[in-house]
Structure 1
């Protein structure tokens, strides 16, 4: 299915590090790349390095005063709460600008490859920092790399870009940046803002012409309910919108083991979402697909396996779920973290779901969430909210 895949990586991407004990530990992407390498996934893709995003590139979505403030914090490591650096979520550290600009530059490099046709798919698993706002850091995110990549493609002439965010947290930064721009369709499936940061992402947040789409799912939602909601909302909207490029954020913190949220997905359910988005990129966007990582705070058991599956799916050669994790990777992961790594690439689940077209149950919390979104959004796109 995939003609060419560009994975952008630089070992310096692990310098995006808020310090010991912070949930966004860079070892998660280090272990991901190590696992993908041992599984042979990286042999099936093109690999390239990257350069830090320039101030002009960052200013596509961020205010110049904010970039200057991040640079000042970066020079001396001193907090500046006016720009959101120096909080528990976003500690200040020397070099924060350089580390954050490199993450943004990696996503931009992948976007350039896709937009120019150098590659059909582009990936940056270190990216997906979707909470950063134009004038402040938020939710572990300093520069909003998915938004910057979208803005860059718009500057190059893109007329329709779709963004699908499957992180357990609402993709509030990307939504805010494009809320009034009908050229960008943002779709976020996340845990209800009633129970999880950032407290936004209600179905009533519809943007201009229904181009902001929010599926707010109840805490405790598992594979079957999540997949039912995804297929009830995402494919019909992408088919109607017909984006020139599909951009996706793959936070894997919807997993049952994630310590910062309350969803119950398995690795196998997440893997099904990657396959669905890959197919939709080919069906609706001519195969042009830019994918990033995102949240995910179970550093050994979940993140490396999830994003190795993502890269393999993009490469057109999915990893069989029962595949053993390589012994060399297990030893490396144990040496780096002290944890006992997983033995296989599956959680042992075979998730299925009932398609929403078969009927709506008003007594079911997931169906109510689906209908709230469809009623708020589908009429804008000439679609019937009813199943």
Structure 2
């Protein structure tokens, strides 16, 4: 049974109200799918779950301009004033990616509040680790919505950790898209180190995250990017992360790790080109967990993020994250996949009729689940060169 002192799960079904429109790829039904999977495993006791509350205005103002927040609030009305609608483009809220929607401010403020709550839980001793899957909106900028992100809950949570607790924060972003909004929030702050492993921006939104984006002023060297090649597979992805993260943590010596867990680097994801399997979503939380205990006294806050195959990928990946964070015995069984139990038949029976795909019955992808990539050696070599450049200023 999971111990509340060990891990907290921040969630309320109202977070699924973060919903742009029915055609939009950002679909928070994935939260319900994940929570139901964990419940059917008996891996999510009710006393682990804490609902988020709205962020305080000063927490939003710490990372966003007052003018932008005013625009978000105005565009959240059921019938926004035409003068605000005409100016929505100025704030990035009229795009196909990030269109304004009813109650946008209230719902996104709760997302921010959930991520801030996770920081408080870990710092005030309620839990060693805290997970807020509704968070991870890492693209929003100071005065502009971007990349499905209205408010940047990640930046707000990190800023809260700094201002309330005086922490040095290591931020780890494993979303397939570069964590640009968080990077720019702390680009000149030597007390926040951002590490992002993502598909190269040559081919993918947001087009940033090159290795030469390293921070500025006294923060030079605290922005570390690993832009990997399209069609990168597990071995190369993990080789890069496992080479970079321990060295960064040893050098930076963080007080807290905040990690963002977009699971769109999987081969099934429709919005990117990286070709990883579920294997990285087992191995990567293990690595972060170990570093949290090695350098931060266990203090670890994890957030959600991207992930657009909501049926076959996100529930498994996010469940694996929680199983690792909460020390559930099923996590250890994954090291022997042939011995590990499959997904609960009751979960498969409930959701298969709604899924457009055949749901996988195993936690990890089998050897024949993904198409082999013919350019593997070339891609691996290029990623190794990128990894060495990323580490250039890390002792």
Tell me the TM-score normalised to structure 2 length. Answer: 0.89
CA positional deviation for 1:335: 4.4
Residue number in structure 1 paired with 2:147: 139
CA positional deviation for 1:92: 1.6
> 1:19-34, aligned counterparts within 5 Å?
19-34=21-36
1:65-98 Cα shifts (integer Å, max 9, x gaps): 1111000000135541111112100122111111
Q: Is 1:161 matched up with 2:163?
A: no
Task: Describe the SS at the equivalent of 1:75.
Answer: coil
Task: Tell me, in whole angstroms, the C-alpha distance in 2 between the residues paired with 1:305 and 1:157.
Answer: 33
8 Å Cα contact 2:281/2:321 also seen in 1: no
CA positional deviation for 1:45: 6.8
1:191-214 Cα shifts (integer Å, max 9, x gaps): 111111100001100002311110
8 Å Cα contact 2:236/2:380 also seen in 1: no
Residue number in structure 2 paired with 1:16: 18
Query: How many residues are paired up?
Result: 368
Q: Is 1:364 matched up with 2:375?
A: no
Q: Is 1:94 matched up with 2:102?
A: yes
CA positional deviation for 1:323: 2.3
- 5+ residue gaps, structure 2: 335-339, 369-377
8 Å Cα contact 1:130/1:172 also seen in 2: yes
Q: Is 1:249 matched up with 2:260?
A: yes
Choose the corresponding residue for 2:300, options 289, 312, 315.
Answer: 289
> 1:271-350, aligned counterparts within 5 Å?
271-317=282-328, 318-319=330-331, 320-321=333-334, 322-348=340-366
Residue number in structure 1 paired with 2:53: 51
Task: Tell me, in whole angstroms, the C-alpha distance in 1 between the residues paired with 2:317 and 2:54.
Answer: 26
The 3 A distance-change label for structure 1 pair 119 and 304 is same
Task: Tell me, in whole angstroms, the C-alpha distance in 2 between the residues paired with 1:363 and 1:303.
Answer: 26
Choose the corresponding residue for 1:39, options 41, 49, 67.
Answer: 41
8 Å Cα contact 1:5/1:45 also seen in 2: no
Tell me the TM-score normalised to structure 1 length. Answer: 0.91
CA positional deviation for 1:56: 1.7
Task: Tell me, in whole angstroms, the C-alpha distance in 2 between the residues paired with 1:44 and 1:311.
Answer: 14
Task: Tell me, in whole angstroms, the C-alpha distance in 2 between the residues paired with 1:20 and 1:372.
Answer: 42
8 Å Cα contact 1:57/1:148 also seen in 2: yes
1:328-385 Cα shifts (integer Å, max 9, x gaps): 21133234445432212111259xxxxxxxxxx999111111111112x32xxxx1xx
Q: Deviation above 6 Å: which 4+ runs of structure 1?
A: none
Task: Tell me, in whole angstroms, the C-alpha distance in 1 between the residues paired with 2:97 and 2:158.
Answer: 25
Q: Is 1:225 matched up with 2:248?
A: no
CA positional deviation for 1:44: 8.9
8 Å Cα contact 1:55/1:67 also seen in 2: no
8 Å Cα contact 1:193/1:201 also seen in 2: yes
Task: Tell me, in whole angstroms, the C-alpha distance in 2 between the residues paired with 1:225 and 1:178.
Answer: 28
Task: Tell me, in whole angstroms, the C-alpha distance in 2 between the residues paired with 1:213 and 1:277.
Answer: 16
8 Å Cα contact 2:232/2:379 also seen in 1: no
Task: Describe the SS at the equivalent of 2:150.
Answer: coil
